[in-house]
Chains A and B, each alone.
Chain A
Amino acid sequence: MDSTPALPRAIGIETIGMTKRFGAHAALDDVSMKIERGGFHALLGENGAGKSTLVKCVMGFYAPTAGTVLVDGREAEITNPKGAQARGLGMVYQHFTLVPSLTGAENLVIARADAPAILDWKAQRAVLADFMDRMPFRLNLDRPVAELAAGEKQKLEIVKQLYLEARFLILDEPTSVLTPSEAEEVLGLLRAMTDRGDLTVLMISHKFHEVETFARSLSVLRRGRLVGGGAVGTLSRDDMAALMIGERTVRTLAARIGDADAGREVLRVEGVTATDPSGLRHIAIDSLRVRAREIVGIAGVSGNGQKELADVLGGQIRATAGRVIVAGAPYSGTRSESRSRKVRFIPEEPLRNACAPRMSVSENLAFRAFDRRGDAAGGPPTLWLDKRAMAARARELIARFKVKTASAEAPIATLSGGNVQRAVLARELTDPVDLLIVVNPCFGLDFAAVSEIRNRIVAARNAGAAVLLISEDLDEILELSDRILVMSDGRLVYETPAAAAEAGTIGRHMAGHH
């Protein structure tokens, strides 16, 4: 007689010969991988290496071209995410799948397939409270998800999967929106669950230290193939990087030349306050200065006001108080101001925020100058377009910035993320630049594209531009900046010269401990 109640136990997953073709392109090529019950397995690979394709095949989003999934050693036909859920498989996506206007409790309850037709909230709340007591995270379930910070949403996503009784959990870059300490907390607690045998975890990650600290085993994908793996500890970081990148030369970062021009302050932000369109996030920037030939990096966890700051600088939302001064005069982000003061703005997600997706590469490249003739930047705008000059300029920029596109006339939405970013950089960086504002320039790009784009930013700085770099990638901030600021809860809370920067201190300030 067993007196302990039957707890949901972890399940093991195995893929055999998983292959997925999109037309002639094999996104996934004969991948066989086994994840033991209670394992914590890391899946490494560059963007486009097939990691997402693999987990989407496992979860039933894609029908694999060939190959099978074994659940606990038995072949399982999973044709949709609901079927995966029924078998105890759950996935936490990079983008949130929570419904913004519903509260945490409503999100949890409605996600259950067996939610009752009429919800007795008193009883539901009791069940939820009991469930949350067993959960590693403390969360307020009564607030609409839209009001939660990104880290809380991520925790709620994980809690939701556990509430749905997932016993095999796939995490797609789970810590990209968390502070370092939150990331350790979340992964540590999940690791503890796997150690107890309650859960199996498959984690997609780019961060070697996370993999080494929390995973027990790992696999590396490159171009759709499984190229290596094994127990954590048997591979060094160099080995892992070599497996991920393969035989390819990666350009090293261009050296910084010269020091900041102390006499030339290009951007000054004084006492600016603003509120985002939802009315939920507020920022208050007391003082921010960027000088010529200087990269000022603003670090921070997603959702701490960086986007609102960028929107104020780009003229997308109005400041409720304070002043933005560029080159000695007030600046509000209009086209004529940005032209005359040589301000260039590269927002995050450039395809959505800096391009017209269905217009051609050539047209997108012409956005800055389509209504000018030649180099007469000061002249009156023209009424008709010089298509021939636009096409010639596009061809030149495509060649110079190595934008991979089928043709200059292809819609820019058909390009990969890295090539969209290259095209936007080509548009923004060809003319002389005095102030460059970039937000998350390398988000979601692969190694090669990342180093090239960072080189371009450093080159702009060396040429004398003042650069404001807003990034959620701390490594990027540390690598590129001359001076580092930390943004937390809508304020700049910490400043340090990059030479004296210490990741731990910055991380603490990012997390709001200051």
Chain B
Amino acid sequence: MSEDLGLWSVLIAVIGGAIRVSTPFLFVSLGETITERSGRINLGLEGTLVFGAMSAYGTAVLTNSPWAGVAVAALAGAAFGLLHGFVCRLPRVNDVAVGIALMLFGSGLAFFLGKPFIQPSAPPLPAIPFGFWSSLPQVQAALQVNVLFLAGAALSVFLWWAFRNTKAGLIVRVVGDSADAARAMGYDVDRVRLYATATGGALAGIGGAYLSLYYPGSWNEGVSSGQGLMAVALVIFARWNPLACFGAALLFGGAGALGPALQSVGVSQGYYLFYAAPYVLTLALLIATASPDRALAGAPGELSLSK
């Protein structure tokens, strides 16, 4: 029966892929949303993601607990965020340049420390089989939903709520939109940004843990392939809105699953082109949503790219 599914199987695979592939995008973009809403841009999250993947995998191998891996990845990510935030508060330091430096530093450090963990296998993160009702193996595979995906979905709703309904959320927005106003209210702008960048780093670290402990589910140097950078673009596309981040992450995840899905139904030519779908999509969306006559709607006023 499964042979008759044809194009349906592509759709199912894309949906499954959207759920499976989107999680790192989601965590990194939510983290970056918090950081950028506070008025700073952290391009180093790609490095944080890779380091998170390595540290989670290593910890899981050593302790045999994937959750310990997630925790260590979050801590490592927060440490990278703190480093970024601390360096950026020094005078005449540019956050974009620091981010690029940290991206290379994080990846390099992860490759250096991660060499011993390429061979051993770590216990994976648990997933919930939401596809139990179906007899189709494709559907069952597609609806294997990892716990972190659900946590990320809940987190995006929470952040959307928190930016409007909590004091901390409003303070982050104030700092990101008008540092002068924040100072006049007596808030320490650098400190708020330091915390926001650390939180963003922690979330990116969790995204890395998902990469190495669930999908693809192993540690090697090509584990991320630029997802951390694309998530930064995704934040702009999502207009700094956590709910839109969730939608955008699903879209990117689905696009990323297109290539493997086509390959699995026997499309033997040109499927490599579809591997590029997320990157083409990034470009196409940014061009489509650009305008020479309008300012970036919703952009935090203090962000160096919108100033």
Q: Residues of A with Cβ closer than 8 Å to B?
A: 80-82, 85, 97-102, 106, 109-111, 113, 115-119, 121, 275, 277-279, 317-318
B295-A110 in contact (CB<8A): no
Which 7 A-B residue pairings sit nearest by Cβ, starting from the closest? A82-B186, A277-B295, A110-B170, A101-B177, A97-B181, A99-B178, A99-B177
**In the complex, chain A residues whose CB is within 8 Å of the CB of B298:** 101
Complex Cα gap A97–B292 (Å): 29
Given A81-B186, A97-B181; A117-B166 close (CB under 8 Å)? yes
B185-A110 in contact (CB<8A): yes
By beta carbon, the residue of chain B nearest A86 is B186
Closest Cβ–Cβ distance, residue A93 to chain B (whole Å)? 8
11 A-B pairs in the complex with CB atoms less than 8 angstroms apart: A82-B185, A82-B186, A97-B184, A100-B178, A102-B174, A102-B177, A110-B167, A117-B168, A121-B165, A275-B293, A318-B293
Q: Residues of B with Cβ closer than 8 Å to A?
A: 164-168, 170-171, 173-174, 177-178, 180-182, 184-186, 292-295, 297-298, 300-301
B170-A118 in contact (CB<8A): no
By beta carbon, the residue of chain B nearest A121 is B165
A118-B186 in contact (CB<8A): no
**In the complex, chain B residues whose CB is within 8 Å of the CB of A82:** 185-186
**In the complex, chain A residues whose CB is within 8 Å of the CB of B181:** 97-99
Closest Cβ–Cβ distance, residue B291 to chain A (whole Å)? 9
B177-A278 in contact (CB<8A): no
Closest Cβ–Cβ distance, residue A501 to chain B (whole Å)? 36
Given A80-B186, A97-B180, A102-B177; A279-B297 close (CB under 8 Å)? yes
By beta carbon, the residue of chain A nearest B162 is A118
B301-A100 in contact (CB<8A): yes
B167-A111 in contact (CB<8A): no
By beta carbon, the residue of chain A nearest B166 is A118
**In the complex, chain B residues whose CB is within 8 Å of the CB of A97:** 178, 180-181, 184
**In the complex, chain A residues whose CB is within 8 Å of the CB of B178:** 97-100
Given A100-B177, A279-B294; A106-B170 close (CB under 8 Å)? yes
By beta carbon, the residue of chain B nearest A111 is B185
B168-A102 in contact (CB<8A): no
**Partner among B185, B294, B300 whose Cβ is within 8 Å of the Cβ of A278:** B294
Complex Cα gap A102–B168 (Å): 14
Complex Cα gap A121–B170 (Å): 13
Closest Cβ–Cβ distance, residue B121 to chain A (whole Å)? 43
A101-B295 in contact (CB<8A): no
B173-A99 in contact (CB<8A): yes
**Partner among A80, A102, A277 whose Cβ is within 8 Å of the Cβ of B293:** A277
Closest Cβ–Cβ distance, residue B158 to chain A (whole Å)? 12
Closest Cβ–Cβ distance, residue A268 to chain B (whole Å)? 24
**In the complex, chain B residues whose CB is within 8 Å of the CB of A99:** 173-174, 177-178, 181-182
Complex Cα gap A110–B294 (Å): 29
Beyond A99-B177, A99-B182: 16 further Cβ-contacts under 8 Å? A97-B178, A98-B178, A99-B174, A100-B301, A101-B298, A101-B300, A101-B301, A102-B170, A106-B173, A115-B170, A116-B167, A117-B168, A118-B167, A119-B170, A121-B165, A277-B294
A110-B165 in contact (CB<8A): no
**In the complex, chain A residues whose CB is within 8 Å of the CB of B174:** 99, 102, 110
Complex Cα gap A106–B182 (Å): 13
B167-A119 in contact (CB<8A): yes
Closest Cβ–Cβ distance, residue B118 to chain A (whole Å)? 45
Complex Cα gap A280–B171 (Å): 25
Closest Cβ–Cβ distance, residue A103 to chain B (whole Å)? 9
By beta carbon, the residue of chain B nearest A80 is B186
**In the complex, chain B residues whose CB is within 8 Å of the CB of A279:** 294-295, 297
By beta carbon, the residue of chain B nearest A164 is B185
Chain A CB within 10 Å, residue with most, of B166, B180, B184, B297:
B184
**In the complex, chain A residues whose CB is within 8 Å of the CB of B170:** 102, 106, 109-110, 115, 119
Closest Cβ–Cβ distance, residue B176 to chain A (whole Å)? 8
